[in-house]
Amino acid sequence: MAWLFSVAAVAQDTGAGSTEAAGELATMLKSYESYQADFIQIVVSGNGNEVRETRGSLKAKRPGLFYWETRAPLPQFIVSNGETVEVYDPDLEQVTIHNLDDRVQTTPALLLSGEVGNLAETYRVSGRKVGEYTREFTLEPKSPDSLFTSLRLTFYKGELQEMRMQDSLSQLSVLSFDNIRLNQPVKTEAFTLDYPKGVDIIRDGA
């Protein structure tokens, strides 16, 4: 896959400050009018043991549209319209609706569809080059209430290829993307959930 690069590649710190690196990352992400990909997500515990592996697909479109689908054995659907986030768990026959508040907005995947102009206000951002074509950015949230402690984004020739997120329990989630379609047309109707009648609907704070 394109995102794989030689482990012997030399990593070069650009020396850029947080504001400069955040501006460079924001410029790259703003060029993503839409992003579609398949993914493999591997979760590793703090002691290095693999907890689970999940496969699925995602779609993102600015401004604010996001769709996430994971397949069996634990199917789940997540959709955002920029104001709310709907989470549908077929096995539980349950839909949970959250307001897109400040905490939810720090969800890493929403960097692909949300506002990214204020990255330096929300994160400490550093960047480095790995070889000729690969660029890495590490984001550390300034807020102690963030959903993660560290997030690394890896780009190959300008395409986002991987996300690595670490939480406060040292659990690592690695999202590797494939079959990437960047800035290709995607209909707004693709960002809706179709769930059967009779499922339990739970509204956040209700």
Q: Does residue 164 lie in a domain region? A: yes
DSSP 143-187: STT-S-SEEEEEEETTEEEEEEEE-TT--EEEEEEEEEEES----
Q: Does residue 193 lie in a domain region? A: yes
Please choose, from the candidates 75, 54, 82, 77, the residue with its C-alpha nearest in 3D space to the C-alpha of residue 67.
77
CA atoms within 13 A on the CB side of 187: 3
φ and ψ at residue 91, rounded to 5 degrees: -65, -30
In degrees, to the nearest 5, what angle opens at C-alpha 34 toward C-alphas 63 and 125?
75
Note the Cα 58 to chain centre separation in Å: 9
Regarding pTM above 0.75, the answer is yes
Residue 157 has pLDDT above 70, yes or no: yes
pLDDT digits (tens, 9 = 90+) for 73-119: 889 999 988 888 899 999 999 999 988 765 554 567 778 988 888 88
Q: Does residue 8 lie in a domain region? A: no
Range of the domain at 154: 17-203
What's the CATH code of the domain at 193? 2.50.20.10
In this predicted structure, what is the pLDDT of residue 14?
A: 40
In this predicted structure, what is the pLDDT of residue 107?
A: 67
In this predicted structure, what is the pLDDT of residue 3?
A: 21
Q: Does residue 5 lie in a domain region? A: no
Q: Does residue 7 lie in a domain region? A: no
Number of domains in the chain: 1
Q: Does residue 121 lie in a domain region? A: yes
In this predicted structure, what is the pLDDT of residue 83?
A: 84
